[in-house]
Copies of this chain bind each other. A is one copy, B any other.
Amino acid sequence: MLQPIEIEHSYQRIKPYVNNTPIFTSSFLNKCFNCEIFFKAEGFQKIGAFKFRGAINALLSYKEKNGTLPKKIVAFSSGNHAQAIALAGQMLDVSVRIYTPTFSSKVKIQAAESYGAEVIKTESRAVAERLTTQDINNGFYLLHPFNDEDILLGQGTSCYEALQELKNIDAIFATCGGGGWVAGSYLAKEHLSPSSKMFAAEPKDADDAYNSYKSGKIVELPEPSITIADGARSSKVGDITFEYLKKLDDFYVVDEERIIYWTQWLNHVLKIRVEPTSAVTMGAVEQWLSSSKLNNQRILVLLSGGNMDQETEQKVWQKDYLTKQPFLL
């Protein structure tokens, strides 16, 4: 396993390339929960999500180890990972090929293409995997979206930045997809604030990581999830990331209605664009506070990003949750 100090090395490596994203608070939410909640907003990271941190770290680390950058990279992604490696590739002059499912949102493909990536739509994961294997044989370097030490270390630099700014944090919350973001955040807090608790949140409709955590072995979803939290749809965590997930203080699942509820409320009170994947965390925060009966906690909530296409926005704003005020302690 990686040493927590590795986060610091990754941070120094990528610092000139990433945005130090701002932290927001809401006096209204603080009053509701009788706590201080700090929101680290990765929507203001390049490409609008934390994923850029991992992509740029993986490329720069590759160069340190091999003396040179890979000439070309390939990845399979429907979303933010595609944009992240497209931009990282453009910045470092590496050509990028992405296989993407036919159902991917136009806006995300548009963004990846605007960074100069070649985007190829494929009908099934099996086809994409076959083509990727061919590419690897032809000299492409495959960049996994989460099950990679350099990727997870890069993702963890967001929590690292936040904990450099904020002291005496009692608990940290992050949403779990494949586990890279949570694993990296865990390492960051072990390095800078080991006494803070670390919790993960997952959509109930994609609860493979939750079940893996609870059972102690990696569980796979029988079929792909269609949760609105599109950054947490992955069917199983990685063997690398799982080693860190095991060490969390607890794990929570949040249902679709509550994810939408918190997406509305975070957009409303923070006045920033918060994607459903980020809002999953607040469902966990309220469960933790409610079951532990704690208050006066200093809580760090890691918000994954602010990328929503029109279809997602439409789903988020179908019903009115803003007139139903948040949970009051």
Contact = CB atoms under 8 A, between A and B. Distances in A.
Nearest to A106: B323
Interface in A180-196: none
Nearest to A311: B320
A44 interface: yes
Given A273-B271, A273-B273, A110 B323 contact: yes
Given A272-B272, A272-B273, A319 B323 contact: no
Contact of A309 (B43, B313, B322): B322
A288 interface: no
Contacts of A311: 320
Contacts of A273: 267-268, 270-273
A107 B325 CA distance: 10
Chain copies in complex: 2
15 contacts: A107-B322, A107-B323, A110-B323, A264-B310, A268-B273, A270-B273, A271-B273, A271-B306, A273-B273, A309-B320, A310-B317, A310-B320, A313-B316, A313-B317, A314-B318
Contacts of A44: 271
Contact of A48 (B264, B271, B325): B271
Nearest to A273: B271
A271 B321 contact: no
Given A268-B273, A310-B321, 10 more contacts: A44-B271, A106-B323, A271-B272, A272-B272, A310-B319, A310-B320, A311-B320, A313-B317, A314-B314, A317-B317
A43 B271 contact: yes
Nearest to A110: B323
Interface string A100-138: 000000110010001000000000000000000000000
A266 to B, nearest CB: 10
Contacts of A264: 310
Contacts of A321: 310
B320 A317 contact: no
A105 B317 CA distance: 15
A317 B308 CA distance: 11
Nearest to A42: B271
A87 to B, nearest CB: 11
